[in-house]
Amino acid sequence: MCRWIAYRGETIPLEQYVTAPAHSLVVQSLKALESTASTNGDGFGMGWYGEHPEPGLYREVRPAWSDENLRYLCRHIRSHLYFGHVRASTGTPITRPNCHPFACGRWLFMHNGLIGNWTRLRRKVEALIPDEFYPSRIGTTDSEAVFLAILGAGGDKDPIGATRRTLATLTDMVGTNTEPLRFTAALANGRDLYAFRYAANDNANTLYYRESGDNVVVVSEPLDSERSHWKPVPPSHMIVAQAGKPVSLEPFLAEARVAAE
């Protein structure tokens, strides 16, 4: 299990959520509280939008807690929409292309979860990626494959529908009550942010959000001890934070087979 944060709102330095809070993402890399993996030291990454239509990306195989570049970059880079992710690998190698977030065109994606028995299902999931997007498969994770499958399913025009269709397909692949599928993910295009919490055959990984004016931050676990500010996203739900619209919590994909939490 990994830990991540996603922010959309007024332009702020990345440090406000990545390095500054008491229980910041960098602190979580060394000691997460709501994760089965208390250490998230298998690389990390940040993605952000600025003046260029395509996002910036900084990914590194070293743990976030000891990366001095990260502190400088978080202080100096400002963004209205950014992602931060610390990784606990579920088996794929610790390489930069396997670190989240993943970028493709103007889209960013990051993930906490897994496709159970990836070795057996990998080819089927990779087959969901259309030829057009296969050159963007530069790593080997299940997460990157799911991202490119979503884009291949029409994610650019219909991000929610494409994500829903892809996850329904993946749910069919893992089958009822067999392999776990956990998908707690964020998707953005520079204007809009979507965050999903879903699972099949398992409990969904935790997800929280906090609103403050027009700003919203979505996190794997709260960044401070003021728990009342952090609202849980229920399983099978999503956060939709589109430009010019209020943030909304909506149903994502009903999963009858999900275990009770």
> Which residues have a catalytic role annotated?
2
Site string for a copy of itself, 81-110 (x = CB under 8 A): --------x--xxxxxx-------------
In the complex with a copy of itself, which residue's Cβ is closer, 63 or 155? 63
What secondary structure letter does DSSP report for 115?
A: E
C-alpha–C-alpha distance, residues 261 and 256, integer Å: 13
* Binding test (CB under 8 A) with a copy of itself, winner from 20, 23, 34, 39: 39
Residue 66 CB, nearest approach to a copy of itself (Å): 5
Q: Which of residues 122-181 bind a copy of itself (CB under 8 A)?
A: 122-123, 131, 134-135, 137-140
Contact 51, 43 (CB under 8 A): no
Site string for a copy of itself, 178-207 (x = CB under 8 A): ------------------------------
* Binding test (CB under 8 A) with a copy of itself, winner from 56, 154, 175, 232: 56
Using the rule CB under 8 A, is 117 a contact of a copy of itself? no
Burial 78-95 (b: 16+ CB within 10 A, else e): ebbbbbbbbbbbbebeee
Residues that bind a copy of itself (CB under 8 A): 30-31, 39, 41-42, 48, 50-52, 56-63, 65-66, 68-69, 72-73, 75-78, 89, 92-97, 119, 122-123, 131, 134-135, 137-140
